[in-house]
Chain A
Amino acid sequence: MIESLGQDFVRTARSKGISERRVVYRHGLRAALTPVATIFGIDLAFQLTGAIFTERLFGLNGIGVLALNAFNQYDLPVLMGGVLVGAIVLVAMNFIVDIAYTFLDPRVRLG
């Protein structure tokens, strides 16, 4: 956000005499959100598939624990399945973030 507010277009926005709140939110925050979207997507992917500790802690039967048990028991097919699910979720989240980018940043749109 600090980096965003240091951008030239924020200085231009201030020079127009618009309210400081508008400068910070509409110009500054909006520009800072886009890189955050990428990280959010990846992070969400990891949350969905890799929360092994959480699952063990609360006794939930999730994919994380399933994969861990498979790993310990040398249960290859289940392990492969777990990894595959994880991979699909990550790719799907990346794809969703890419689509989201076309809404966030007009420079990314096609045509």
Chain B
Amino acid sequence: MSESSSTVRTPQTVTWTPRTRGDREEAYLEVTDLRVQFPTADGMVNAVMGLSYSLPLRRTLAIVGESGSGKSVSSMAVMGLHDRKSSRISGSIKVGGKEIVGMSPGDLQDFRGTDAAMIFQDPQSSLHPYFTIGDQIMESYRAHNKASRRQAKDRAIDLLARVGIPNPKRRVDNYPHEFSGGMRQRAMIAMALVNDPKLLIADEPTTALDVTVQAQILDLIADLQRDFGSAVIFITHDLGVVAEIADDILVMYAGNAVEYGPVQKILGTPLHPYTWGLLESIPALTGEPAPLHPIPGTPPSLLAVPSGCPFHPRCEFRDRVPGDLCRTLYPELIPRTADPGRASRCHLKEPDRVFETEVLPRLP
């Protein structure tokens, strides 16, 4: 089904950009038309295809999507973590005014850990098993600040206390395997925050944890954001988590944003069939046992993204749009209702009405 047509690859004229509103208008993070490709033996993998958004300080953006949607790849690009030899990145990523795309490795090393920091999904495998937590936190601190071992250790202990680890003076000398899952993730958060980064990217930080611990970690991140005043990107596939801590949501599919808006509006009246599918596929916890409604089909291979709208092969509303547009024309991410603050990448007319009359009754 190799139908990757030129409508997908031509640069879009960006007429509307997801822009999270903050206390002050200037954005700390500005992503513009980001494209990330990986040349492979099987062809060019288009992991991210023209993503744009902006985020000011003190705000949380949740990026929601399945595996392969490009959510992790785009965030790794923001951190400058992609290997220059095996990836092609174009577009612009500005963090605190600094342009990340094309930055030299030396400058990237200074940038990572100070202006922006990242925490990863599985703290068990993401922390080095051979070094103590204290060593790993101190390493990050001493890489960017002139500090003695004693000073760095004190700083590590302070942070461990701040993230809620009891007995920090003793635990700073413990190894990662001596912590429980939740404590490990707290320790990783402490390590990320040691240099006061203004941007924190959390890549599915609670996916590997128990549900009860999840809530604690979410509270912790929200709390730290208030205190440190940082911008937070929270990557997840779990819409339930999103409702708790996000200000805005960016839904990603096949390498690009398909819906954007404030969290209450997106969860209350989503406008994109993919988001509808996500909400519908959440199992009901109460009521009659009923069959599950997954979205039919599977996410497309990024080697051969479908022509027109990448979601059209799986979309039940495809035939509502006259002229076979869904198969031929790549929709733009623009407001589709009267509300200028939210946008959807879909040709459907009056998606809010379609949602209310047809999808909402089906939801548990």
Contacts and interface: CB of A to CB of B under 8 A. Distances in A.
Interface string B71-111: 00000000101000000000000000000000001001111
A32 B319 CA distance: 55
Size class of the B contact interface (CB-based, 8 Å): 20 to 34
Contact of B112 (A7, A8, A17, A107): A17
A19 interface: yes
A8 B139 contact: no
A103 to B, nearest CB: 10
A9 B111 contact: no
Nearest to B137: A16
A18 B117 CA distance: 12
Contacts of A18: 109, 113, 139-140, 143
B129 A19 contact: no
Contacts of B81: 11, 14-15
B129 A9 contact: yes
A13 B143 CA distance: 11
Interface string B140-174: 10011000000000000000000000000000000
Q: Taking chain A's interface residues, is the majority helix, strand, or loop, or is none over half, making it mixed?
A: helix
B120 A12 contact: yes
Contacts of B175: 106-107
Given A17-B113, A17-B143, A20-B105, A11 B120 contact: yes
Size class of the A contact interface (CB-based, 8 Å): 20 to 34
B143 to A, nearest CB: 4
Interface string A83-111: 00000000000000000000011110000
Nearest to B188: A12
B120 A8 contact: yes
B122 A17 contact: no
Contacts of B110: 17
A20 B125 contact: no
A101 to B, nearest CB: 11
Interface string B110-135: 11111001101010011111100000
A30 B143 CA distance: 19
A11 B140 CA distance: 13
A27 B175 CA distance: 15
A45 interface: no
B177 interface: yes
Nearest to B144: A17
Interface string A51-94: 00000000000000000000000000000000000000000000
A31 B139 contact: no
Given A15-B113, A16-B113, A17-B112, 7 more contacts: A11-B81, A14-B112, A16-B191, A17-B110, A17-B144, A31-B129, A105-B130
| Top 9 A-B residue pairs of the complex, sorted by shortest distance between their CB atoms | A17-B113, A17-B112, A8-B125, A16-B140, A9-B128, A16-B113, A18-B143, A8-B126, A106-B175
Interface of B: 79, 81, 105, 108-114, 117-118, 120, 122, 125-130, 139-140, 143-144, 175, 177, 188, 191
15 contacts: A8-B120, A9-B125, A12-B118, A12-B127, A12-B128, A15-B118, A15-B120, A16-B143, A17-B110, A17-B144, A19-B143, A22-B139, A30-B130, A105-B129, A106-B129
